[in-house]
Amino acid sequence: MANDRESKPGHSRVDEATGTEFVGHEWDGIEELNTPLPRWWLWTFYATVAWSIVYVVLYPAWPLVNSATEGVLGWSSRGDLETRMAEAELQRQPIFERIAATDLGTLPADSELMRQAVAGGAAAFKQHCVQCHGAGAAGYEQYGYPNLNDDDWIWGGTLSEIEYTLIHGIRWDGSDATRMAYMPAFGEIFDKDQVDALANHVLSLSGKAESSAVGAELYAQNCAACHQANGEGDPVQGAPALNDAIWLYGGDIADVRTQIQAPRHGVMPGWQDRLDPVTIKMLAAYVHSRGGGQETPAAAEPGAEPSPEEVAVSAQAGDDGQS
């Protein structure tokens, strides 16, 4: 082929090995060959240029000093996000309405709605509650933030009791109906031996220490009114149970002694002003679903005295994002 061509008259030279024409550029003996592009390739290039012009006109493109050109379509990624969020909101609306219309006590009976409520509660929990109670709702013992996964409830663990706590808070200035309980400080009333005896008696309620006559008497006179004689506590007064394995401020003898001498009192804000009732309901459902929620008494079988285990009945829970 190449030989054919070279025999023809003309002005340009052809590389013998490839049969390709030289462009005419040479650098130190290295020459450039001309391999033409297919013409459609050129048209494709022009098409992309045309497309870019259309794009620049339609969409935000040129950066300016403080903003950018907006494009005649007025599209923006923020606006797109707003539209999509509004769409999602609209989709959730019917579920919110159903939750609002459902009594909290009967919510677990509708397992599908309960699942939705728990999922919504899990999302709200991550936004409003994890700062104190932790991402897994396990609390922080060293700061006195209670664990919400267990079956120990200072103020009661039924759905409606949890909701009340959420609405009004604990020792919170913002609500007149807040849950309020203060334990007196006994540090200046009892001497060191009395405090030791009392602490030992408190621990003996859960079998962790030996009681003494002094300790038992001090307990009966000063503590049993709220914490009950056997130490089971009283959710109505907000008196924690002392006879179980769970301690809000630590279960060592030193921790108990400190708490007797100078009790700490945690504060939880009420959420009635900041969250809508449906979100509070969903939060209650989520906290209840963490594995320790108590059944609403009305739903429990009347007559037979339920054992503590039977009282603490797990509730419905869906996939809460913990997996």
Partner 1 sequence: MVNPDTLEKSPDNNSGERDWGAALNQPAQSPEEAPSRLSPKQAPPPLKLYEARKAVHNKRIDGPFRRFKWLVMFVTLAIYYTTPWLRWDRGPFAPDQAVLIDLANRRFYMFDIEIWPHEFYFVAGMLIMAGIGLFLITSAVGRAWCGYACPQTVWTDLFQHIDRLFDGDRNARMRLDKAPWGPAKIARRTSKWTVYLLIAMVTGGAWILYFADAPTLFVDFFTGQADFVAYATVAILTGTTFWLGGFMREQVCIYMCPWPRIQAAMLDEKSLIVTYKDWRGEERGSLKKAQKEPERYGDCIDCNQCVAVCPTGIDIREGQQIGCITCALCIDACDKVMADIGRPRGLIDYATLEQCEAESAGAPATPAWKALLRPRTLIYGGVWGAIGLAMLFALGTRTHTDLTVSPDRNPPYMLMKDGSIRNAYTLRLRNMEARPREMEIALAGLPAGAVMWTDTVARNLAAPAQTVDVPANETKIVRAYVVIPEGTQAHEFQFALTSLDEQGERDVEDTTFAMPGDI
Print burial letters for 119-144: b (CB count within 10 Å at least 16), e (below 16). Answer: bbbbebbeebbeebbeeebebebeeb
Q: Which helix (H) or strand (E) holds 33?
A: strand 30-33
Residue in 38, 63, 302, 303 binding partner 1, rule: CB under 8 A? 38
**Based on the number of CB atoms within 10 Å of its own CB, is 64 exposed (0-12), middle (13-18) or buried (19 or more)?**
exposed
| Secondary structure (3-state) at 117 | helix
Q: Phi and psi (nearest 5°) for 4?
A: -50, -50
Minimum CB separation from partner 1 for residue 284, in Å?
Answer: 16
- Residue 110 touching partner 1 (CB under 8 A): no
Residue in 241, 242, 282, 284 binding partner 1, rule: CB under 8 A? 241
Residue in 5, 92, 265, 274 binding partner 1, rule: CB under 8 A? 5
- Residue 135 touching partner 1 (CB under 8 A): yes
- Residue 129 touching partner 1 (CB under 8 A): no
Residue in 28, 29, 30, 35 binding partner 1, rule: CB under 8 A? 35
Binding mask 252-291 for partner 1 (x = CB under 8 A): -------------------------------------x-x
- Residue 188 touching partner 1 (CB under 8 A): no
Which candidate, 46, 45, 18, places its Cα nearest to that of 33?
A: 18
- Residue 29 touching partner 1 (CB under 8 A): no
- Residue 70 touching partner 1 (CB under 8 A): no
Confirm if 283 and 130 have CB atoms less than 8 A apart: no
| Euclidean distance between CA atoms 323 and 216, whole angstroms | 46
Confirm if 287 and 170 have CB atoms less than 8 A apart: no
Minimum CB separation from partner 1 for residue 308, in Å?
Answer: 7
> Cα–Cα distances in Å, from 38 out to 25, 34, 41, 220, 286?
22, 12, 5, 100, 65
DSSP 24: E
- Residue 80 touching partner 1 (CB under 8 A): no
Kindly give the interhelix angle for 213-222 and 192-204, rounded to the nearest 10 degrees.
90
- Residue 24 touching partner 1 (CB under 8 A): yes
| Euclidean distance between CA atoms 162 and 166, whole angstroms | 6
Which CB, 147 or 178, lies closer to partner 1? 147
Binding mask 141-170 for partner 1 (x = CB under 8 A): ------x-xxxx------------------
Write out the binding residues for partner 1, residues 286-315 only, by CB under 8 A: 289, 291-292, 295, 308-310, 312-315
Binding site for partner 1 (CB under 8 A): 1-2, 5-15, 18-24, 26, 33-42, 111, 134-138, 147, 149-152, 206, 241, 244-246, 289, 291-292, 295, 308-310, 312-320, 322-323
